[in-house]
């Protein structure tokens, strides 16, 4: 057993690129679900329009990367409006149905043969973020970091940009949620009619929340696409949304830092279980599963962990026990 | 101006009015005209004409299913009528969405109390204030633009909490309050919007008798401050105690109006509540048996 690699891989995943991607998705979901009570089951759809917004702008329409980023963010706004206009006047369930369907429709459109001229079909698009890669101030080939946190130059650059984005989004949520604007949002989560009876335009606030969380999701999708330099339709399946929910619930919903710490811990756990299981199999301690099966078993273990968390700590790791206890009354 | 009326004038403004449904008031703040609302084949509300006197406490009573809450919902924009119009201070309220009705100064509470459980009591209160600068998205990001107003609002909220004896619960979650305290909080929160008309849907339901007295006091205070109060209530002692004027609904229609004492003696009202043949005489034995049953269920 190579404990050194277990710990190193785990800690690298703790602050890694996946943690950034899912932290952004979950910060968006936290605004939707944690603060406004909107059941968005299509967060991956926002990531997809962000990613494809930038990829198609650059590859298909030969626009500058920066314009592509703006288009990606606008695509997030447009998707939020499209989903919100018909459903936000209805009960919460309708938004859930519309969002999960929309995210699947988007994925199927992006991979369709008819549109492949623009979207690259099931192969997706590549090499559209050279501008992003060229901005990298770090020397190619060199390694950066300290202790276990050592990364290649491109990864260091991506992590720097990524965690800066996460920091800015966290600051945004922090400022908003301690303001009267955030108070209205939380009131809507608790009881729409009460907010309405006190003169708050519930529909408009829900729309603002849907747009804001959606755009942060699009930002996450764009970040992931830019640092991998590729978009592929099948990377935008519904599992991504549910991972983001797992991250949010693990960290604690309606907490400013909940989604960020949730993402870090989620990927840390996935990495640890993967390396440990992989080593146990390859060293012959476990004989009844193959190493490729071990990759699936880790999700079972993390799922089991989440179930136990919900039983013994329903508020998530950083949630507020007193607040959750109110639901039982 | 309503605030200039001396205390006793609230009752005086109703004096000498004809006791018939739809009678015009001396100074009407709300006027309802030919409003109907049907659910399927059922006419839940069918009000020909109703006026609410400014600065008075008007009780709205009627048996279950009479359409009182539906009328409340219609007047506050929470539901849309099939036909009809209604106005507030002379301006039409027809088709105005609920949040705009509230901003104009007609605020309501709910039969099933809507305390915002996961907000603290003080946050509940602060939510009630209208025209908050910090409720705009961009300004919310710049605290100096809304902080001074927030401090004013908080001071006002704290004053109201003291008045409603909720100041010790200030930082508790609203979800931790008892049912009666939630009713108090809901009423106090409604006052944060500085309304002109307060519409209370069963303010005393599920409240223990001690708290009922304090709630009654608060409702009378609203009148003393020049607000108009309309409330739905089932407890006749409460209605008799605080109303200046009582409107009786049955099967969606207004069947009687009048001062509380007279209205309770009104033949139509008694029939609507109890059925036309409720007063067949009881024997002494029957009555004893009923009393015994009551005691049995109470203990």
Q: Could you tell me if B31 lies within 8 Å of chain A, comparing CB atoms?
A: no
Between CA B257 and CA B105 the distance in angstroms is: 25
Q: DSSP secondary-structure letter at B1?
A: -
CB-based contact A198 B128, cutoff 8 Å = yes
Query: Which chain B residue shows the shortest CA-CA distance from A328?
Result: B175
Percent above pLDDT 70 for chain B = 93
Categorize the per-residue pLDDT at B5 as very low, low, confident or very high, splitting at 50, 70 and 90: very low
Cβ-contact B60, B68 below 8 angstroms:
yes
CB-based contact B76 A197, cutoff 8 Å = yes
CB-based contact A197 B98, cutoff 8 Å = yes
Residue pLDDT, tens place only, A261-287: 999 999 999 999 999 998 998 888 888
Please report how the helices A92-110 and A65-87 are oriented relative to each other, as an axis angle in degrees rounded to 10. Answer: 140
Q: What is the pLDDT of residue A197?
A: 95
Query: Which chain A residue shows the shortest CA-CA distance from B154?
Result: A180
Which domains are assigned to chain B? 2-115+189-298 (3.40.50.300), 117-176 (no CATH)
Categorize the per-residue pLDDT at B297 as very low, low, confident or very high, splitting at 50, 70 and 90: low
Q: What is the pLDDT of residue A328?
A: 58
Cβ-contact B66, B41 below 8 angstroms:
no
Point out the residue among A181, A191, A201 whose CB comes nearest to the CB of B116: A191
**Whether pLDDT at B1 is above 70:** no
CB-based contact B173 A322, cutoff 8 Å = yes
CB-based contact A198 B109, cutoff 8 Å = no
Q: Could you tell me if B228 lies within 8 Å of chain A, comparing CB atoms?
A: no
Q: Could you tell me if B141 lies within 8 Å of chain A, comparing CB atoms?
A: yes
CATH of the domain at A167: 1.10.3470
Q: What is the pLDDT of residue B2?
A: 45
Q: Which residues of B touch A182 (CB under 8 A)?
A: 140
Categorize the per-residue pLDDT at B4 as very low, low, confident or very high, splitting at 50, 70 and 90: very low
Residue tagged 């927030």 (tokens): B150
Between CA B172 and CA B150 the distance in angstroms is: 19
**Whether pLDDT at B116 is above 70:** yes
Q: Which residues of B touch A190 (CB under 8 A)?
A: 116-119
Cβ-contact A112, A233 below 8 angstroms:
no
Name, in order, each residue with C-beta under 8 angstroms of A110's C-beta and a sequence gap of 6 or more. Answer: A48, A52, A119, A124, A231, A233, A236
Q: Which residues of A touch B78 (CB under 8 A)?
A: 193, 196-197
Percent above pLDDT 90 for chain A = 79
Q: What is the pLDDT of residue A174?
A: 97
Q: Which residues of B touch A195 (CB under 8 A)?
A: 99, 127
Point out the residue among B103, B108, B116 whose CB comes nearest to the CB of A187: B116
CB-based contact A196 B119, cutoff 8 Å = no
CB-based contact B135 A181, cutoff 8 Å = yes
Per mean pLDDT, which of A87-101, A207-221, B47-61, B196-210 is the most reliable?
A207-221
Instruction: Give the residue from A36, A197, A327 with the most B CB atoms within 10 Å of its CB, the best one to mutate.
Output: A197
Instruction: Give the residue from A174, A179, A252 with the most B CB atoms within 10 Å of its CB, the best one to mutate.
Output: A179
Q: What is the pLDDT of residue B276?
A: 61
**Whether pLDDT at A239 is above 80:** yes
Cβ-contact B143, A179 below 8 angstroms:
yes
Q: Pairing between strand B91-92 and B83-88? A: antiparallel
Q: What is the pLDDT of residue A284?
A: 86
Residue pLDDT, tens place only, A59-113: 999 999 999 999 999 999 999 999 999 999 888 889 999 999 999 999 999 999 9
Query: Which chain A residue shows the shortest CA-CA distance from B129?
Result: A198
- pLDDT averaged over chain A? 93
What interface predicted TM-score (ipTM) does this complex get? 0.88
Q: What is the pLDDT of residue B3?
A: 43
Q: Pairing between strand B57-61 and B228-232? A: parallel
Task: Name the phi and psi angles at B60, rounded to 5.
Answer: -115, 115
Mean pLDDT, residues B168-181 = 92
Instruction: Give the residue from A77, A194, A204 with the most B CB atoms within 10 Å of its CB, the best one to mutate.
Output: A194
Q: Which residues of B touch A179 (CB under 8 A)?
A: 134, 140-141, 143, 146
Closest CA of chain A from B113, distance in Å: 9
Point out the residue among A175, A199, A329 whose CB comes nearest to the CB of B102: A199
**Whether pLDDT at B288 is above 90:** no
Lowest mean pLDDT among A84-93, A168-177, A203-212: A84-93
**What stretches of B71-171 adopt beta strand conformation (E)?**
83-88, 91-92, 106-108
User: Residue A281 is part of which domain span?
Assistant: 3-328
Query: Which chain A residue shows the shortest CA-CA distance from B130?
Result: A199
How many Cβ atoms sit within 10 Å of the Cβ of residue A139? 9
Lowest mean pLDDT among A55-59, A140-144, A165-169, B195-199: A140-144
Q: What is the pLDDT of residue B208?
A: 84
Point out the residue among A181, A195, A326 whose CB comes nearest to the CB of B136: A181
Percent above pLDDT 90 for chain B = 62
Task: Name the phi and psi angles at A45, rounded to 5.
Answer: -65, -40
Q: What is the pLDDT of residue B7?
A: 46
Q: Which of B75, B60, B69 is nearest to B111 (CA)?
A: B69
Cβ-contact B212, B238 below 8 angstroms:
yes
Lowest mean pLDDT among A160-174, A197-211, B211-225: B211-225
Q: What is the pLDDT of residue A290?
A: 85
Point out the residue among A175, A198, A254 whose CB comes nearest to the CB of B127: A198
CB-based contact B141 A182, cutoff 8 Å = no
**Whether pLDDT at A329 is above 60:** no
Residue pLDDT, tens place only, B47-97: 999 999 999 999 999 888 889 999 999 999 999 999 999 999 989 999 899
Residue pLDDT, tens place only, B226-284: 999 999 988 888 898 899 999 999 989 999 999 998 888 888 888 887 766 556 666 77
How many Cβ atoms sit within 10 Å of the Cβ of residue B5? 18
**Whether pLDDT at A300 is above 80:** yes
Q: What is the pLDDT of residue A220?
A: 97
Q: Which residues of A touch B98 (CB under 8 A)?
A: 193, 196-197
Structure-token pair, residue A111? 């991979």
Q: What is the pLDDT of residue B278?
A: 57
A282, exposed or middle or buried, with CB in 10 Å at 0-12, 13-18, 19+?
exposed
Categorize the per-residue pLDDT at B298 as very low, low, confident or very high, splitting at 50, 70 and 90: low
Query: Which chain A residue shows the shortest CA-CA distance from B110?
Result: A194
Q: What is the pLDDT of residue B246?
A: 93
A/B interface, count of CB pairs below 8 Å? 106
Closest CA of chain B from A263, distance in Å: 25
| Measured distance between the N- and C-terminal CA atoms of chain A, rounded to whole angstroms | 49
Lowest mean pLDDT among B16-30, B163-177, B285-299: B285-299
Q: Could you tell me if B126 lies within 8 Å of chain A, comparing CB atoms?
A: yes
CB-based contact A199 B103, cutoff 8 Å = yes
How many Cβ atoms sit within 10 Å of the Cβ of residue A163? 15
Categorize the per-residue pLDDT at B6 as very low, low, confident or very high, splitting at 50, 70 and 90: very low
Q: Which residues of B touch A187 (CB under 8 A)?
A: 116, 119, 127
**Whether pLDDT at A231 is above 90:** yes
Name, in order, each residue with C-beta under 8 angstroms of A274's C-beta and a sequence gap of 6 or more. Answer: A9, A294, A295, A298
Closest CA of chain B from A83, distance in Å: 20
Q: Domain count for chain A, please give it.
A: 1
Cβ-contact B219, B188 below 8 angstroms:
no
Q: Which of residues 64-103 of B touch A (CB under 8 A)?
A: 76, 78, 98-100, 102-103
Q: Which residues of B touch A186 (CB under 8 A)?
A: 116, 118-119, 123
Categorize the per-residue pLDDT at B296 as very low, low, confident or very high, splitting at 50, 70 and 90: low
Residue-wise burial string across B58-97, b where 16 or more C-beta atoms lie within 10 A, e elsewhere: bbbbbbeebbbbbbbbbbbbbbebeebebebeeeebeebe
């Amino acid at each position: 057993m190579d404990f050194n690699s277990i710990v190193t891989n785990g800690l690298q995943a703790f602050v890694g690129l996946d943690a950034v991607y899912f932290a952004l998705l979950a910060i968006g979901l936290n605004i939707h679900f944690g603060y406004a009570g909107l059941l968005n089951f299509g967060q991956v759809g926002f990531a997809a329009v962000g990613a494809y917004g930038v990829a198609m702008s650059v590859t298909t329409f030969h626009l500058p990367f920066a314009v592509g980023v703006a288009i990606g963010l606008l695509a997030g706004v447009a998707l939020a409006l499209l989903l919100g206009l018909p459903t936000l006047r209805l009960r919460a369930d309708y938004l859930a149905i519309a969002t999960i369907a929309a995210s699947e429709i988007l994925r199927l459109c992006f991979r369709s043969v008819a549109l492949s001229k623009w979207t690259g079909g099931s192969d997706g698009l590549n090499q559209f973020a050279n501008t992003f890669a060229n901005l990298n101030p770090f020397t190619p080939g060199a390694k950066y970091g300290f202790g276990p946190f050592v990364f290649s130059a491109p990864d260091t650059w991506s992590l720097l940009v990524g965690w800066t984005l996460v920091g800015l989004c966290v600051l945004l949520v922090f400022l908003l949620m301690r303001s009267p604007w955030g108070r209205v949002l939380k009131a809507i989560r608790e009881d729409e009619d009460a907010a309405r009876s006190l003169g708050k335009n519930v529909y408009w606030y829900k729309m603002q929340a849907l747009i804001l969380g959606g755009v942060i999701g699009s930002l996450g999708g764009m970040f992931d696409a830019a640092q991998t330099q590729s978009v592929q339709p099948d990377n935008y399946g519904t599992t991504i949304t549910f991972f983001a929910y797992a991250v949010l619930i693990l960290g604690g919903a309606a907490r400013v830092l909940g989604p960020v710490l949730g993402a870090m811990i989620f990927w840390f756990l996935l990495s640890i279980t993967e390396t440990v299981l992989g080593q146990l199999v390859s060293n012959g301690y476990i004989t009844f599963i193959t190493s490729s099966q071990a990759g699936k078993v880790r999700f079972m273990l993390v799922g089991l962990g989440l179930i136990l968390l919900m039983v013994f700590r329903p508020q998530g790791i950083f949630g507020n026990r007193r607040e959750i206890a109110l639901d039982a009354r | 101006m309503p605030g200039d009326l001396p205390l006793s004038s609230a009752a005086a403004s109703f004096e000498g009015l004809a006791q018939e449904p739809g009678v015009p008031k001396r100074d009407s703040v709300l006027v309802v005209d030919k409003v109907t609302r049907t659910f399927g084949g059922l006419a839940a509300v069918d009000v020909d004409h109703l006026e609410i006197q400014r600065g008075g406490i008007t009780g709205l009573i009627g048996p279950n299913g009479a359409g009182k809450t539906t009328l409340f919902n219609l007047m506050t924009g929470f539901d849309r009528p099939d036909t009809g119009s209604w106005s507030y201070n002379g301006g039409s309220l027809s088709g105005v969405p609920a949040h705009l009705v509230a901003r104009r100064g007609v605020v309501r509470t709910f039969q099933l109390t809507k305390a915002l459980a996961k907000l603290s009591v003080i946050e509940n209160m602060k939510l009630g204030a209208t025209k908050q600068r910090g409720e705009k998205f961009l300004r919310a990001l710049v605290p100096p633009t809304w902080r001074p107003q927030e401090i004013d609002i908080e001071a006002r909220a704290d004053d109201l909490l003291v008045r409603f004896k909720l100041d010790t619960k200030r930082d508790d979650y609203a979800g931790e309050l008892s049912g009666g305290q939630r009713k108090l909080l809901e009423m106090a929160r409604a006052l944060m919007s500085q309304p002109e008309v307060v519409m209370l849907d069963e303010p005393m339901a599920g409240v223990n008798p001690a708290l009922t007295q304090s709630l009654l006091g608060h409702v009378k205070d609203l009148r003393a401050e020049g607000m108009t109060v309309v409330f739905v209530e089932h407890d006749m002692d409460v209605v008799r105690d605080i109303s200046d004027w009582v409107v009786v609904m049955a099967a969606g229609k207004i069947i009687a109006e009048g001062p509380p004492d007279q209205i309770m003696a009104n033949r139509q009202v008694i029939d609507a509540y109890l059925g036309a043949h409720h007063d067949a005489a009881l024997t002494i034995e029957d009555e004893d048996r009923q009393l015994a049953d009551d005691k049995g269920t109470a203990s």
